[in-house]
Structure 1
Amino acid sequence: MSLNHINLVVKDVDKALHLFTNYFGFSMVANRNSKMAVLENNDQFALVIWGQVLNKREDIPEYPENFHIGFYQEDQEAVWNMYRKLKEEENLRFEAEPKSIRNTFGFYFYFEDLMIEVSVNPFKENLK
């Protein structure tokens, strides 16, 4: 069995599409009038970007405390490169620069109220 998709609710579908296609390797499969979109990556994992407008609400959706999605980078240099690129985007909030977090190296940022982690895979050595 494999995970098929995750549904993320956002206020601005187009800005989410920009983020995930330009920085995280996703390609758009479908865009339904900027109200809902489906993205897929090379692993055939899908993100469903669901516009809050479909919930008949206009506000930025709230996520539970500590809910986040994470993306692994190859090494610390790749984490720094991603951080520098993302810092150029206007609509993102950052907690801090990349640093040691738990047993890895990375950083957190927010798109709307969705927390996203970028880090080095702490289990990489155990996967060989």
Structure 2
Amino acid sequence: MKLNHLDLQVPDVQRTAQFFERYFDFEHTSNRASPAIAILSDRAGLVLVLQKLKNPEQAYPDGFHIGFFVDSEDQVMGLHARAKEDGLEVSDVIRNNRGTMVYCQLPGGILAEVNCRPHSG
């Protein structure tokens, strides 16, 4: 069984879609003008559906986040630098036994982790 899509509810569909395109290389596969829904692909089989949040009072629970594994620490550092340059809320670079990572606040209250796992050796 393979996870093939994720549906996230967000207050601003197009702003969030643009974020996923810019920072995580997703491809928009639906009508770009729709304020209600955007369908994106990571080009590796995962479909990301962004839908307009119906109740603006709702929020994701503390600790909820999505995660991206990357191949190198340079990729983590590059995303960190780009996010800081763009004025986004991004954590310091964290290094621990789980790898090298940063956390970035996405539009709509979604937290994303970008992590390069430590090399086994």
TM range (shorter): 0.7 to 0.9
Give the alignment's TM-score, normalised by structure 1: 0.81
- The structure 1 residue matched to 2:73, chosen from 76, 80, 94, is 76
Which residue in 1 is equivalent to 2:99?
104
Contact 1:10 1:49 survives alignment (8 Å): yes
Deviations 1:54-107 (A, max 9, x none): x2x3x26411121110111211111100111122334x322x221214521111
Distance 1:50 1:89 in 2: 25
TM-score w.r.t. the length of structure 2 is 0.85
Q: Which amino acid aligns with 2:113?
A: E
Alignment of 1:86-101 (within 5 A): 86-90=83-87, 92-94=88-90, 96-101=91-96
Query: What 5-or-longer segments of structure 2 have no aligned partner?
Result: none
List aligned pairs for 1:1-128, cutoff 5 A: 1-31=1-31, 33-52=34-53, 55=54, 57=55, 59=56, 61-90=58-87, 92-94=88-90, 96-111=91-106, 112-122=108-118, 125=120
Identity %: 27
More RCO (CA 8 Å, sep 6+): 2
Mapped to 2, the partners of 1:34 and 1:101 lie a distance apart of 40
Query: Which stretches of structure 1, 4 residues or more, deviate above 3 A after TM superposition?
Result: none
**In the alignment, is the contact (CA less than 8 A) between 1:60 and 1:113 conserved in 2?**
no
**Partners of 1:12 and 1:51 within 8 A in 2:** yes
Consecutive unaligned residues of structure 1, counting only runs of 5 or more, are none
Q: RMSD of the alignment, in Å?
A: 2.1
Aligned length: 119
Change in 2 beyond 3 A, CA 1:49/1:75: same
Q: Is the 8 A contact 1:69 1:115 kept in 2?
A: yes
Conservation of the 8 A alpha-carbon contact between 2:29 and 2:40: yes
Indicate how the Cα distance of structure 1 residues 60 and 21 shifts in structure 2: closer, same or farther if over 3 A, else same: farther
The structure richer in strand per residue is: 1
